[in-house]
A and B are shown apart, each in its own frame.
Chain A
Amino acid sequence: MSSATLESILDRHARQGVRLMQILRETQEALGWLPPEALGEIARATGLTRAAVESTANFYSFFHTRPLGHYRVLWSDNITDRMLGNQALMQALCKALWLQPGRVSEDGLVSVDTTSCTGMCDQGPAVLVNYRTVTNMNLDRVQAMAALIRARVPVAEWPEEWFQIADNIRRAGLLLDCPLAPGAALAAGLARGGAGLLDEIRTAGLRGRGGAGFSTAQKWQSCRDARSPAADGARYVVCNADEGEPGTFKDRVLLTRCPDLVFEGMTLAGLAVGARRGFLYLRGEYRYLLDALEAVLARRRAAGLLGASIAGSNFAFDIEIHLGAGAYVCGEESALIESLEGKPGKPRIRPPFPVTSGYLNCPTTVNNVETLASACLIAAHGGAWFARSGTKVSTGSKILSVSGDCAHPGIYEYPFGVSVQQVLEDCGAQRTLAVQVSGPSGVLLAPDEFERRIAFEDVPSAGAFMVFDETRDMFEVARNFAHFFAHESCGFCTPCRVGTAINARFMDKIAAGHGSRDDLEQIFRMHRLMQATSHCGLGQTAANPIFDTLRKFRPSYDRRIESLHFEPAFDLDAALSRARRMTGRDDPAAHLTNEHQP
């Protein structure tokens, strides 16, 4: 890369260390990877230490500090992609390219690997090619893709239809009907004023849509009341669009269909808490949305809905989009703020909570995409109107991302309180064995629980709804999730870093036919330990899918168990194979029995 290109990237971000993530991403987009010289130049220009720049560059899956080929193909590896056959397709692609997964081809042309769920579960198997999303992969597309790569055709010239991403809205409700004209809610909000708006949010009973269900009014009030350490009293609004929970893709559709609703919700949050700046933290997997969203922001600025004097008032607010780089843990709000500041996404110690000490230690409210869109409706129609739908303690609607074994995967918006059974019927699921609600960190429901309702008081959900029918093996589902968490643990605390790795190893041991009753006991112990001692929600919930499947689908484990007591972790006799070959021995002492008879 010419130093002029790097200079222009650095200038565009005013050489600010807090912009490091965006500087690294744009540098990599220009060069294909992050060479040491570029990192050194970025460190000098931003005034960060070389170690700080490298720790960020090395933390995120989508940044690479070694060349990984002109074409980087990453297969989304959620369980729903597996159920659609991604493994065989990936093998076929590797075969067509004469390649091992995870290795760069000898000519430095291409590498093929897996990545965590890319949020295309309703149209998988999906891949990212140089971080552009391709959906509905099949053998034809694999063969055509291999030919295009070998012919070195730039990704921008690949068939347009490969990059089509469907919204698949099957059932629209309050939000997805999008009845608001841009600016309408903002005008109503400005008329009410910040305090009046907060009152409406409180009346509406709005709760966070990210899964935890915290009161939005309380969060905004705390942020509004907190003292800012900055001279100008700065406060921030952050929209969490780091939709990393496997099986969740509702925010992608909201940002595609109703971006004005989301941006206007952020602006209203700014009005309510007294902020002048907002960030949309968009997951790296949704890079393809960036240009369209920037265009919406530009249009809103031109219409006077963002900027120095919004709708002629003295309220000023603007929004920047910050793109993530493939780290699930950044969905945790304090990790997300670290990432916004250009650092590795490791959760902070809380308290202090972001509402008092968030971005640059200033009061910051972090809200889910769907929460902010709902706030926009409340500003327009009033809190009482909103509270009329849903249940008493879970007001409004919930958007579910339905995927897996059903006839019509896609987006379903219901008033809170809908039963799992109702959703299964609507999406055309047959002979359902289990439903994973709210992703791997959520809860797995068995058929005797399908009458339960999606609501904070019963089954809370961040939006994922993965359906498994009777042909599925729930052990393999849990094993996929165990590897997901082992990959996504940020490594900051020992219970999570080690626990997720050990759990993945236990699951592999059982899958390889070396499992015993004792291993299952160890898994239960590990679950308790991680739940009690992990630093953040990732570790606390990482063993949930194993725990749930062990409790509700025990036979899928028992049929793999070799021994009621203990089984070695590996094949003992095979472990002498190399030494036998080198010594030419085959006497009885050169063998070990795998069965140990006391």
Chain B
Amino acid sequence: MSKKLKVATVSLAGCFGCHMSFLDIDERILELIERVEFDRSPLTDIKTCGPCDIGLVEGGVCNSENVHVLREFRDHCRTLVAVGACAITGGLPALRNPLDVADILEEVYHSRPGLAKGAMIPNDPELPLPLNQVHPIHEVVKIDYFLPGCPPPADAFWKLLTDLLAGRTPSLRHGLIQYD
């Protein structure tokens, strides 16, 4: 038995729906765990990413923290995969792009009715700042493969991972490429 491959996963500006779809591989996860070891992932709760073979990134880039996490993944993962519509195109969070983020902050935290008196736009340095626009992840780092779908079907995850484990270039056949 060869050494287990290391896999990390993360959700940036996404809804974790892609992760849920990944878990829909059901009992095949037992077969998978024989051959891979999970590093940073919501499944392990490990907070930082170590050297990995495969990184799966769900969600687009909407704030500075997303940029840092994405770069961490790029630095540590030999193969980085954009998973799902938000990672590939910006997706639902990118619907804010036609609006000015300054107007959004102003309305949500300052001028909207029903706010506490003296409410201010949060400015704690702990908080990541939102980017002017939401971006697909390939605009920020180099991405090796794209797994389309909202979410990608479980079988597509399975095909991608088994191809990578077998050393094949991942290729999704007709029924596995879907956009909604």
Which residues of A line the B interface, CB within 8 A?
518, 565-566, 568-570, 572, 574-585, 587, 589-590, 592, 596, 598
Residues of B within 8 Å of A576, CB to CB, are 64, 129, 131-132
Contacts of B105 in A (CB 8 A): 578-579, 582-583
Contacts of A574 in B (CB 8 A): 132
The docked-state distance in angstroms from the alpha carbon of A578 to that of B141 is 22
Those 8 A-B pairs whose CB atoms lie nearest each other, nearest first? A569-B139, A579-B129, A566-B142, A583-B123, A578-B102, A575-B131, A598-B75, A582-B105
- Chain A hits for B141, CB < 8 A: 566, 568, 596
B102 pairs with A581, CB closer than 8 A: yes
Name the B residues within 8 Å of A581 (CB-CB): 102
Closest approach, in angstroms, between the C-beta of A421 and any C-beta of chain B? 44
Given contacts A576-B129, A578-B101, A580-B129, contact A592 B142 (CB under 8 A): no
Please state if B142 and A589 are interface contacts (CB–CB under 8 Å): no
| Docked-complex contact B67 and A590, CB < 8 angstroms | no
Residues on the A chain within 8 Å of B133, using CB:
575
Question: Complex formed: what's the CA distance from A316 to B121 in Å?
Answer: 80
Inside 8 A of B67's CB, which chain A residues have their CB? 572, 592
Task: Tell me if B74 and A579 are in contact (CB < 8 A).
Answer: no
Measured CA separation A44–B13 after assembly (Å): 49
Tell whether B91 is near chain A: CB-to-CB under 8 Å.
no
Q: How far is the CB of A225 from chain B (nearest CB, A)?
A: 39
Rounded to whole angstroms, the CA-CA distance of A581 and B121 in the bound complex is 11
Give CA–CA (A243, B164) in the complex, Å: 50
15 A-B pairs with C-beta separation under 8 A? A568-B141, A569-B135, A574-B132, A575-B133, A576-B129, A579-B129, A582-B106, A583-B105, A585-B125, A587-B125, A589-B129, A596-B71, A596-B141, A598-B74, A598-B75
Besides A576-B129, A589-B64, A596-B141, 5 new A-B residue pairs in contact (Cβ under 8 A), listed by A number: A565-B142, A579-B132, A585-B129, A590-B129, A596-B71
B109 nearest CB neighbor, chain A only: A582
The answer on a CB contact under 8 Å between B102 and A582 is: yes
Instruction: Compute how far the CA of A584 lies from the CA of B109 in the bound complex, rounded to whole angstroms.
Output: 14
Q: How many residues of B are counted as interface, with CB atoms below 8 angstroms from the partner's CB atoms? A: 26
| A565: chain B residues within 8 A (beta carbon) | 142
CB nearest neighbor in B for A585: B123
With A578-B132, A590-B129 known to touch, is A583 a contact of B140 (CB < 8 Å)? no
Most chain B beta-carbon contacts within 10 A, residue among A518, A574, A589 = A589
A402 to B9 CA separation, bound complex (whole angstroms)? 58
B134 to chain A, nearest CB (A): 10
Asked if B114 lies at the interface with its beta carbon under 8 angstroms from chain A, I say no
A579-B140 CB under 8 A given contacts A585-B125, A585-B129, A589-B64: no
Residues facing A in B126-152 (CB within 8 A) are 126, 128-133, 135, 139-142
Knowing A584-B123, A589-B64 are in contact, say whether A568-B101 is a contact too (CB < 8 A): no
- Report how far A521 CA is from B121 CA in the complex, Å: 43
Give chain A nearest CB distance to B67 CB in angstroms.
6
B100 located at the interface, meaning its Cβ lies under 8 Å from any Cβ of chain A in the complex: yes
List residues of chain B with CB within 8 A of the CB of A577: 132
Known contacts A570-B139, A572-B140: A578-B125 contact under CB 8 Å: no
Q: Which residues of B contact A582 (CB under 8 A)?
A: 101-102, 105-106, 121
Q: In whole angstroms, what is the CA distance A570 to B137 when docked?
A: 12
- Measured between beta carbons, the chain B residues less than 8 angstroms from A518 are 142
Bound: A574/B122 CA distance, A: 20
Most A C-beta atoms less than 10 A away, residue of B75, B126, B130: B130
